[in-house]
Structure 1
Amino acid sequence: MSSILVLNGPNLNLLGTRQPEVYGTTTLADIENLCADWAQSEGCSVTFEQSNHEGVLIDHIHAARGEHQGIILNAGAYTHTSIALMDAIASVELPAIELHLSNVHAREAFRHKSYISKVAVGLISGFGAHGYVLALEAMKQHVSH
């Protein structure tokens, strides 16, 4: 059975109320339920974590080694600033998928740079909450080969 860590970064705890014109009205709890339903139907295990603190996210990435077969990371704004998260992903040698609810390349120029992409096996961006299911499907396929 595949075990996947779904890790969410800063401000994602505010989904549903934070800039709904950009991020929609789906809450993080709604997304977790959506992913849990998918995991149950696919025979996978999914663990969810969220933190607004970079060091806590790094601790979750480190702890994933030996526990999970892959990481789906929506690092929020840390995507564009955190060399430390990039290094943590590279260090644990687990496949990671970078995920964004919005299409970051259709937004402000500073969002076009990603440190996470440099160490990720792929990127899913712009599909809202459904992007999480797309990322889970992609990770399941990636780790089964």
Structure 2
Amino acid sequence: MAAARPRFFSNIKSADEYFLPNLYGQTTNQPAPASTSLSEEAFFESDIERLDAELESIFGSSLQERHGANTDEDIRAAVAPVDQHQPPPPPATTVVPPIPRYDEMTRVIGTPFDHRPQRTQYRRDANVLVVNGPCALAQGKIAGTQASWSDVQAALEQQASTAGIGLAVENSNHEGVVIDHLLNATEHTTVILNCGDLLHAYPAIQKAASLSAAQVLLLNDTPLADSNASARQLTGFGAFGYKVALHAAIEQFKEQ
């Protein structure tokens, strides 16, 4: 036979013992027990203590101890059911930064590795145009020499400024850009052209030099046998050939 469940309060009636005897009978005409000679307020307090003791024997601890509440309002707030129909809180708004314009992106990112040919507006007011074509410059130096192009360009600009003539410089490794400069040059312009001693490999540039209205001076390490009669050649001068060609152009302008 199973052992009876131990009771924490042997002198206090359980809920069944308290309610079942009066379930089918009239409780109003029955006399009160002898132990209920206390006042009515004390009687109700004793009933509450009995119920609390029974609940404590079933659940272990009181609601006040479990939820840390001190008042009835605190207890109701602690065990209040969650409203399932309550709408969820609105999601946090995320501020999306505006998409930058194309000009802003190019200003921030830049295109240092953009090798597409760029058409440069030709300066028609220049008297001398220096064009460095394909492979004329390499690693900031004039191909085949140790001369720095920035130093040579500064010397040419100083030489042209002293002579009182205009000077423009264009560098491009694209054949079409060089052709555009040759065909857009006016008859009052002298073009100093250096194609890195590869002019023989560019028939289109040779044709553009023959069709150009400007006076063309070719800088080559070796003479070009198939050069047209309108283009003059300066060979074997290396980096110094730019200064020789510019000096020749200045003297030609003085004679005009």
Structure 2: gaps (5+ residues): 1-124
Looking at structure 1, the residues matched to 150 and 201 of structure 2 have their Cα atoms a distance apart, in angstroms, of 26
Question: SS state of the match for residue 168, structure 2?
Answer: strand
* Partner Cα separation in structure 2 for residue 92 and residue 70 of structure 1: 10
Alignment of 1:77-88 (within 5 A): 77-88=197-208
Hey, what does 1:127 align to over in structure 2? 237
**TM-score, normalised with respect to structure 2:** 0.45
Task: Tell me what 2:219 maps to.
Answer: 99
**What is the distance in 2 between the residues matched to 1:16 and 1:57?**
19
Residue 127 of structure 2 contacts residue 189 of structure 2 at CA under 8 Å; is this kept in 1? yes
Q: Distance in 1 between matches of 2:236 and 2:159?
A: 20
Structure 2 counterparts to residues 1-145 of structure 1, below 5 A: 3-14=127-138, 23-65=144-186, 69-100=189-220, 103-104=221-222, 112-115=223-226, 117-143=227-253, 144-145=255-256
Structure 1, residues 47-85: CA drift from partner, whole Å, max 9, x if none? 10111111111111122226x511111122441122211
Post-superposition offset of 1:120: 4.1
Contact kept, 8 Å, 1:9 with 1:52, in 2: the verdict is yes
Deviation at 1:135, TM superposition (A): 0.2
Q: How many residues in Structure 1 have an aligned counterpart in Structure 2?
A: 131
Structure with the greater alpha carbon radius of gyration: 2
CA contact (8 A) 2:210 2:231 kept: no
| Structure 1 moving runs of 4+ over 4 Å | 15-19
**Helix, strand or coil for the counterpart of 1:25?**
coil
* Percent of residue pairs identical: 30
Per-residue deviation, 1:32:
1.0
Structure 1: where are the runs of 5+ without partners? 105-111
Query: RMSD of the alignment, in Å?
Result: 2.5
Q: Whose relative contact order is higher, 1 or 2, with alpha carbons under 8 Å and at least 6 apart? A: 1
Q: Which has the higher helix share?
A: 1
